[in-house]
């Protein structure tokens, strides 16, 4: 599939000026300076919780907005220009955009853990601008070509899907495992979908909102749901024993909330030799950490940060093989001109994933 259109010589961008204030600016059109880079016309951008956090609080974790910043990092687009040494992509290719580029000189990059690079330039993470604009520059090897039958909207969800892939790979989820996940937001749902694709036969997701839980069940992302509102760990454990027989318990667990109660219950619900990964961002220090359960069951506990080597490629392969359907997660769509409305709407908590279209393109040629 080749898509060609007239290039427009401007770069409208959605810019966070300060807490609570987003404006539109015409930023300079980016120029390819590195021969291995490509220029992408951004067509779709998913709205992420971190974007909203910057909008509402001016910070996310240790990152603080100190100057106007272009928002957005969950994007896909069409290649419109390539550097002189680019070999694997051509003009017209549709790609998922991996938004974090490490230093090629860092130890983390050389050791295959580039997501941990201290010099990472990550879109819409201060001080770097994001992808809610007309044109964006990326290295060739941080673009993954989309199969013809995978839409650009689906391509923009490769970013959060890769978070789920990375988390599942960290704890080596495989055929015969079983999973408990806390949090039925977009990341929790995608973690669940990846767990199923990787071979989990039982997947229980826990949340406080029935609509989210029922969505997970209706979309066949999980096998079981549990609403923990007003419930104790004993209530959860009793329910688990109706699913897992005998002495069996979930072999794997993911917390996609960052809430200390969720982390506590998730770890305590695991089988001996269970594997747990923390995906949701929590506070700097976590009380209620169930150290005795970790010790007595010899549970493996890992942290998860974004995604790394091959996670994007695996995510695209899951879409290519129809191992997971991400389309239903897109519950609301906004045009580029409605981006501010999209951010305001997100605060109502009535969406799963909001999609913002890129700026209008030129005429087809």
Euclidean distance between CA atoms 107 and 75, whole angstroms = 28
Count Cβ atoms below 10 Å from residue 124 Cβ, excluding itself: 27
Sign of the CA dihedral with 142 first, then 312, 56, and 329 last? positive
pLDDT of residue 286: 80
CATH fold of 12-157+326-357: Quinone Oxidoreductase; Chain A, domain 1 (3.90.180)
Residues 85-109 pLDDT 10s: 999 999 999 999 999 999 999 999 9
φ/ψ (deg, to 5) at 121? -100, 100
Closest to 193 (Cα-Cα) out of 322, 17, 346: 322
47 burial (CB, 10 Å; 0-12 / 13-18 / 19+) is: buried
Does the pLDDT of residue 249 top 60, yes or no? yes
User: Measured in Å, how far apart are the chain's first and last C-alpha atoms?
Assistant: 14
Q: In 201-305, at which residue ranges do the beta strands (DSSP E only) sit?
A: 202-207, 224-227, 252-255, 275-278, 300-303
Q: How confident is the model at residue 4 (pLDDT cuts 50, 70, 90)?
A: low
33-38 mean pLDDT: 98
Closest to 211 (Cα-Cα) out of 198, 235, 227: 227
Q: Which residue ranges does the chain devote to CATH 3.40.50.720?
A: 164-303
Residues 123-146 pLDDT 10s: 999 999 999 999 999 999 999 999
Tokens representing residue 59 in the block: 């910070």
As a whole-number percent, the residues of the chain with pLDDT over 90 amount to: 90
Q: Which residue ranges does the chain devote to CATH 3.90.180.10?
A: 12-157+326-357
Place of tokens 């979309």: 219
Given this structure, which CATH class describes domain 164-303? alpha beta
Residues 161-207 pLDDT 10s: 999 999 999 999 999 999 999 999 999 999 999 999 999 999 999 99
φ/ψ (deg, to 5) at 281? -80, 125
pLDDT of residue 3: 57
pLDDT of residue 361: 84
């Amino acid at each position: 599939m080749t898509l060609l259109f007239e290039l427009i010589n401007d770069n409208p961008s959605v810019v966070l000026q300060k807490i609570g204030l987003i404006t539109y600016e015409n930023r300079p059109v980016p120029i390819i300076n590195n021969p291995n880079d490509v220029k992408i016309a951004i067509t779709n951008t998913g709205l992420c919780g971190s974007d909203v956090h910057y909008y509402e609080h001016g910070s996310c974790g240790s990152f603080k907005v100190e100057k106007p910043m272009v928002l957005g990092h969950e994007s896909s687009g069409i290649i419109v220009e390539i550097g002189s040494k680019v070999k694997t992509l051509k003009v017209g290719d549709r790609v998922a955009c991996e938004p974090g580029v490490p230093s090629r000189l860092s130890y983390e990059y050389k050791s295959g853990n580039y997501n941990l690079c201290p010099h990472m330039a990550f879109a819409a993470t201060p001080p770097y601008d994001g992808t809610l604009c007309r044109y964006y520059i990326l290295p060739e090897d941080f673009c993954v070509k989309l199969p013809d039958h995978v839409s650009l909207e689906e391509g923009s969800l490769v970013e959060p899907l890769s978070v789920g892939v990375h988390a599942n790979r960290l704890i080596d989820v495989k055929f015969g495992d079983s999973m408990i996940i806390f949090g039925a937001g977009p990341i929790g749902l995608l973690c669940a979908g990846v767990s199923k694709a990787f071979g989990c036969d039982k997947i229980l997701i826990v949340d406080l909102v029935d609509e989210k839980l029922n969505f997970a069940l209706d979309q066949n992302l999980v096998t079981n749901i549990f609403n923990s509102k007003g419930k104790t760990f004993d209530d959860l454990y009793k329910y688990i024993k109706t699913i897992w027989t005998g002495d069996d318990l979930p072999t794997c667990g993911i917390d996609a909330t960052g809430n200390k109660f969720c982390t506590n219950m998730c770890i305590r619900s695991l089988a001996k030799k269970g594997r747990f990964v923390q995906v949701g961002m929590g506070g700097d220090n976590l009380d209620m950490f169930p150290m005795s359960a970790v010790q007595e069951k010899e549970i493996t506990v890992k942290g998860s940060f974004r995604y790394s080597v091959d996670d994007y490629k695996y995510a695209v392969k899951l879409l290519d093989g129809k191992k997971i359907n991400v389309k239903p997660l897109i519950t609301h769509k906004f045009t580029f001109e409605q981006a501010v409305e999209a951010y305001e709407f997100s605060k109502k908590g009535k969406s799963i994933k909001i999609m913002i279209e890129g700026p209008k393109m030129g005429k087809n040629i």
